[in-house]
Amino acid sequence: MPTKRFENLDPDKRKEILHAAQAEFLKNGYKDASLNTIIEEARISKGSLYYYFEDKTDLYLTVLGHVMIQLQKKIGGIGAGVYTENFWGDIEDYTRKSLRMIKENPDFVRLARGLFSLISSGNVPDAVADVINNWKGMMTSIVVRGQNIGEIRTDLPLGLLVNILWSLGETMDFWVLSHLDEFTVDELEQQAKVYVNLWKRIAGTKTITDNKD
């Protein structure tokens, strides 16, 4: 996470640093992005960069998080903690809007691929682990809400169920990013129903049957 020093910077200077970093990460990807280029474009010293951020990963996650916050505001729905009376409909709507957002924002996709490369590297930095845990926290709150209204099964430990659903979501995210160019926006949105049906088959209460033998 960026230090309080960065958060206390003048807003225009914060924007300048994040803009320079985002441009470099988009151009060369996380692995090949040059901190020297970012420093030059942001008009700061190397000492200042490490005064504001722990390392390159911290800077990258800050940029990605900033972009995600802006997109999340556009998506709204359960990602912002807003629900209707149709729990599974809310999840499908959120999934559909998220898939459309991914398709219509190629810059976000290029940034996100850097995160997936870090996750799949086998040596996940602590900062990335923190991001994952935050996302799992959001997923946990969704699952708990579903359990409280009788839409999600309760016969499995909560942590186990969340990890199962997380693994499913991670697999789908990897697949979507790898095949994004094969779909139109409308075709990609249709996948939302498929994904939610998988969730329902795994986590929905109506999939549970009593063994009477």
CA distance 166 to 172: 10
- Give the tokens for residue 151: 């839409």
- Asked whether residue 52 falls in the same domain as residue 154, the answer is no
pLDDT at residue 51 is higher than 70: yes
Assess if residue 213 is contained within a domain.
no
The residue range of the domain holding 15 is 1-75
- Going by C-beta distance under 8 Å and a sequence separation of 6 or more, which residues neighbour residue 18? 62, 63, 66
CA distance 84 to 65: 27
- Going by C-beta distance under 8 Å and a sequence separation of 6 or more, which residues neighbour residue 79? 72, 94, 98, 138
CATH number for the domain that contains residue 55: 1.10.10.60
Phi, psi (deg, nearest 5) at residue 115:
-65, -45
- Asked whether residue 183 falls in the same domain as residue 111, the answer is yes
Rounded to the nearest 10 degrees, the angle between the axes of helix 126-148 and helix 158-179 is 120
CA distance 208 to 186: 32
Q: Look at residues 35, 49, 66, 178 and name the one whose alpha carbon lies nearest to residue 117.
A: 178
**Which residues are bridge partners to 204 per DSSP?**
152
Determine the pLDDT at residue 199.
93
pTM of the model: 0.78
Tell me the percentage of the chain whose pLDDT exceeds 70: 94
CA distance 110 to 47: 28
CA distance 19 to 185: 27
Is residue 38 within 8 A of residue 30, CB to CB? The reply is no
Determine the pLDDT at residue 142.
92
- Going by C-beta distance under 8 Å and a sequence separation of 6 or more, which residues neighbour residue 43? 16
pLDDT at residue 213 is higher than 60: no
pLDDT tens by residue, 165-200: 999 988 888 888 888 888 888 888 888 889 999 999
- Asked whether residue 90 falls in the same domain as residue 67, the answer is no
pLDDT tens by residue, 53-99: 988 989 998 998 888 888 888 888 887 788 899 999 999 999 998 88
- Asked whether residue 18 falls in the same domain as residue 38, the answer is yes
- Asked whether residue 94 falls in the same domain as residue 173, the answer is yes
**Which residues are bridge partners to 152 per DSSP?**
204
Which of 26, 47, 75 lies at the terminal end of a domain, its last residue?
75
Is residue 173 within 8 A of residue 116, CB to CB? The reply is yes
pLDDT at residue 209 is higher than 70: no
Q: Look at residues 179, 27, 47, 38 and name the one whose alpha carbon lies nearest to residue 114.
A: 27
Total domain count, the chain: 2
